[in-house]
Amino acid sequence: MPEILDGNRVRDEIKSELRPRIASLTAQKRAPGLAVVLVGNNPASEIYVRNKIKTCEELGICSQTLRPPQSASTEEVLAAVHELNARDEIDGILVQLPLPPQVDAKRVLLAIDPAKDVDGLHPYNVGCLVAGLPGPRACTPAGIIELLKRYRLPIAGKRAAVVGRSDIVGKPAAFLLLHEHATVTICHSKTPDLPAVCREADILVAALGKPAMITGEFIRPGAVVIDVGTTRIEDRGQAVRVLHNIPEKMAAFEKRGFVLMGDVHPVDVVSKASAYTPVPGGVGPLTIAMLMVNTVASAEHRCGLC
């Protein structure tokens, strides 16, 4: 049986390591401060922000949420960001995506002070990533590297394939793997013979947002498979097609009326991989954990403690 890479366990390790750092900051200067800008009432964003606030409370990080209305203009959202940039007690600013269509997301993200960009998405911080310079890293890709390292899975010298080229996951994940001395291929919808390319990988990162698309033909026997995707499946026919051999997941679907599914086929990965991340409970818990890491690091830097 392949090894299951438990993101909840690694998340808890990271939180335990952060607590003394936060206590030291609070005793010497002040508690770290994280502000989230949540525009409108996207249900998925509401859940994510609520989990961020809960984690801040657990760790002793001061959190604040600014809630411009769904009808907010670009200028109104920019005003909220500029206010947070100017506040000394705020170490991290996160603008929750997606933004309503009338808001220019690029202008908003560019407006964040790079020193407070705890999402690691500002072009300045992306440039630091590419150049291998210190700076906040995108949270989900950073979590992937933490997971691999804490399970002592070798990266250096391995072939890695990243399926998906988003600015949030795919591209930064590829650079982080490259900095760990993997040979990296970035795959996408225009990649010829995608299954064959993926089968060359010792480490396969699936981040394309298409449930159960990565089947056995994509997976090299013995590969480490990192599933970034999380899609809520409510269609019973689709659930049955993928989960008919996993009775406990079908039972959960029947009870709740939905199931969370990753980009990797949950049956095929068990038969081919040497280690893999489950959905849920794999990569997901590490995204917020790494957000906390970035926030604490920003506070230490801004308070002159590092």
**Residues noted as catalytic:** 52, 96, 119
Tell whether the torsion through CA atoms of 87, 89, 94 and 96 is positive or negative: negative
Q: What share of the chain is helix, strand, coil (3-state, %, to 5)?
A: 45, 15, 40
Round to whole Å and give the CA distance between 22 and 298.
12
Burial classification of residue 221, based on how many CB atoms lie within 10 Å of its CB (0-12 exposed, 13-18 middle, 19 or more buried): exposed
Angle 208-210-213 (CA atoms, 0-180°, nearest 5)? 100
CA dist., res. 200 & res. 116, Å (int): 39
**Residue 37 tokens, joined:** 């800008």
CB 33 within 8 A of CB 169: no
Largest CA distance in the chain: 57
Q: Cα(299)–Cα(227) distance, rounded to whole angstroms?
A: 31
Closest CA to 223 of 188, 186, 197: 197
Of the candidates 233, 291, 234, the residue with the CA atom closest to the CA atom of residue 262: 233
Backbone angles phi, psi at 93, to 5 degrees: -125, 130
Following DSSP, what letter does each residue of 170-200 receive, concatenated?
A: HHHHHHHHHHTT-EEEEE-TT-TTHHHHHHT
